[in-house]
Amino acid sequence: MKFAVIVFPGTWSDHDSKYSLEVAGQEADLVWHRATNLSEYDAIVLPGGFSYGDYLRVGAIARFSPVMESVMADAERGKPVIGICNGFQILCECHLLPGALMRNASLQYRCDWVHLRAENTSSAWTSNLEPGQVISVPISHGDGRYFADPATLDELESTGRVAFRYCTPEGAVTPEANPNGSERNIAGIVNERGNVLGMMPHPERACEALLGGEDGLLIWKSVVEWATVRA
């Protein structure tokens, strides 16, 4: 597969994402935010960082970058799109995903390894995981608290659109395992079609044992297998 890794002013996980995709045996290009045509790419990555310095709201300005028209159109056509950390914030700002990412409940920037329990294993980005499987990936954010109104949260739950929850190493979903105060320990969600995933943790930083773990590769393997089946 060929991946477009979108680069906004202030993005800083772009090279990490490109590198991890190459570790997974995939082709990836860094694509500047002024691009208006992503038709040559099979999947799109909105990586982490501080797009436009996080002015106004996290992801609020990036949502209006020229490339986002193509991102939104491709997502609507079913192309796989993943937003990681700041990318998740951007996906919420452009309404490809519901809810918002707010300041951490602790009001502190959190950078640590966390455990995630796979809830949805039928989406493009999670199909290589088993239901309830626990993976370990790092977080690095100050505005990672997922928030949505109760009706939206109930809809996400009832339609199986919660992709990951923060949990203990044993898979228990507890307040202590929640690093940012996210509603219902939600760490990632998908859209109705399952081709768009937003997640706060960084799978691109968990692609080599030398770096602390390889669980992030399961995300890339999922979308490759998903696309192969549909080829």
Please, what is the Cα angle at 114 between 112 and 119, to 5 degrees? 150
φ, ψ of residue 100 in degrees (nearest 5): -150, 160
Contact (CB, 8 A) for 29 and 37: no
Burial of 174 (0-12, 13-18, 19+ CB in 10 A): exposed
Please, what is the Cα angle at 46 between 134 and 202, to 5 degrees? 30
Q: Strands 100-102 and 81-84: what pairing? A: unpaired
Contact (CB, 8 A) for 219 and 126: yes
15 catalytic per annotation:
no
Q: Among the options 85, 92, 94, 167, which is catalytic? A: 85
Q: Among the options 115, 202, 207, 214, which is catalytic? A: 202
202 catalytic per annotation:
yes
What kind and span of H or E run contains 67? helix 67-76
Distance CA 139, CA 56 (A): 23
Q: Among the options 92, 115, 141, 204, which is catalytic? A: 204
Inter-helix orientation angle 14-23/217-230, to 10°: 60
Please identify every residue annotated as catalytic. Answer: 85, 202, 204
